């Protein structure tokens, strides 16, 4: 059936569902995304501030970190100096302890060795009484005496050669002064008891008789002059 032409005064024709209509486009606003480039804005990447919080001032975090770093470095230097002092104190304590231990051991060793010297003196007196004898007993004493001397030498003990030397108060102890002609003053004429050193330190002084430097006549003449 032919349709008649529509007049301007005719009401609009009803359209069926979906006929000639376009679906509405929903525009969503993406917060923090640049519409032109699609990049995330810097403000969105950092996130929004909590309500009531002021944005941090530029450089404030860097300043706090620098202060913390400086404080940590000062603490490190302080503890390092403390460590060095403690190490030095411990090293000094160790050396002092070792020195005291060595000195204590040396004193104890000298005391024991000094107690053995009278035994050596008696052996030497026994050898002098039977000098020149071929007695087997004397030969045995000589052997023991030599072994004893070797042992003392290994321990650092050396006899003092006093006879004929000048009197030395650091090594000798004078028990008598003799008027013997032909000798200068303070010459060791006789050794009453042999002296010994231990590692170059005096263990026992030698008991000696020394010369006065005056002959018997000179001494008697001086006494006679003093009496007159």
Tell me which residue of 140, 147, 112 sits closest to 126, measured CA to CA.
140
Over range 52-65, report the average pLDDT. Answer: 63
Considering the chain, what percentage of its residues have pLDDT values greater than 70? 68
- Residue 85 confidence (pLDDT): 92
Cβ atoms 107, 203 nearer than 8 A: no
All structural domains of the chain with their residue ranges: 64-155, 158-228
Tokens representing residue 189 in the block: 């004429």
Q: Which CATH architecture has domain 64-155?
A: Alpha-Beta Complex (3.90)
Query: 171-202 pLDDT, tens per residue?
Result: 999 999 998 888 889 999 999 999 999 988 99
- 158-228 folds as Nucleotide Exchange Factor Grpe; Chain A, domain 2 (2.30.22)
**How far is Cα 146 from Cα 136, in angstroms, rounded to an integer?**
15
CA angle (173, 114, 198) in 5-degree steps: 80
DSSP 23: P
What pTM, to 2 d.p., does this model score?
Answer: 0.53
Collapsing DSSP states into helix, strand and coil, what is residue 70?
helix
């Amino acid at each position: 059936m032919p349709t008649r032409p529509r007049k301007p005064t005719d009401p609009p024709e009803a359209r069926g569902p979906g006929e000639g209509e376009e679906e509405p486009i929903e525009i969503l606003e993406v917060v923090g995304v640049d519409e032109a480039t699609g990049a995330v804005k810097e403000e969105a990447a950092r996130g929004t501030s909590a309500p009531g919080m002021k944005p941090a001032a530029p450089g404030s975090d860097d300043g706090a970190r620098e202060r913390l770093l400086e404080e940590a470095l000062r603490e490190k230097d302080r503890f390092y100096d403390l460590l060095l002092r403690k190490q030095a104190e411990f090293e000094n304590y160790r050396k002092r302890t070792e020195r005291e231990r060595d000195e204590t051991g040396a004193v104890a060793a000298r005391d024991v060795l000094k107690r053995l010297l009278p035994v050596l003196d008696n052996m030497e007196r026994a050898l002098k009484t039977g000098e020149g004898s071929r007695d087997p007993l004397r030969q045995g004493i000589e052997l023991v005496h030599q072994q004893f001397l070797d042992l003392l030498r290994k321990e650092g003990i050396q006899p003092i050669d006093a006879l004929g030397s000048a009197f030395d108060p650091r090594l000798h102890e004078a028990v008598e002064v003799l008027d013997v002609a032909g000798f200068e003053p303070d010459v060791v004429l006789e050794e009453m008891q042999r002296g010994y050193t231990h590692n170059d330190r005096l263990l026992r002084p030698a008991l000696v008789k020394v010369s006065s430097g005056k002959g018997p006549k000179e001494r008697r003449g001086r006494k006679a002059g003093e009496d007159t």
